[in-house]
Amino acid sequence: MQKKCGVCQWISELKTSPFLIKEFSTGYAVLSKYQYNKGYVLFLCKNHVTELHELKGEVRDKFLHELALVGEAIFKTVKPAKMNYELLGNTEPHLHCHLIPRYKEERSPDRPVWVVKKNIRQSKKYMLNEKDVQKLRSKILGNLEALS
């Protein structure tokens, strides 16, 4: 039995999600419900591919352009020291990018955020409540609209 794609399942549920920031032509910008790093967003590719090079020509160019717009809007919203763009897929084989703002005051700003244990990064302490979701989503969306 083949495992269903978790990202495809997530995409199918996004239309009613308060975490959805914006739908683009190639993907969806979605707030992470855990904000270990304030402004953490995922960009989920609409096409079910596992690698960036599997997107061809204009679609790949548009995906990267939209991804960069989301990154810029996050940067303008939370003003980090650095933005990390991480195209992973080790756990979910569906093209998606983690946009993770990095801050100088982090414990290990010179190391990937993944070195922090998952139970810490995804603790209730960093879970957004409804009000915070709406506030952060609104600020990022406002900056996205200003870039368009």
Domain residue limits, the chain = 6-147
Residue 52 has pLDDT above 70, yes or no: yes
More confident residue, 88 or 21: 21
Phi-psi region at 83: left, alpha or beta (left = phi > 0; alpha = psi -120 to 50): beta
Q: Identify the pLDDT of residue 114.
A: 85
Of the candidates 142, 144, 86, the residue with the CA atom closest to the CA atom of residue 112? 86
Domain spanning 6-147: CATH superfamily: HIT-like (3.30.428.10)
Residue 148 has pLDDT above 90, yes or no: no
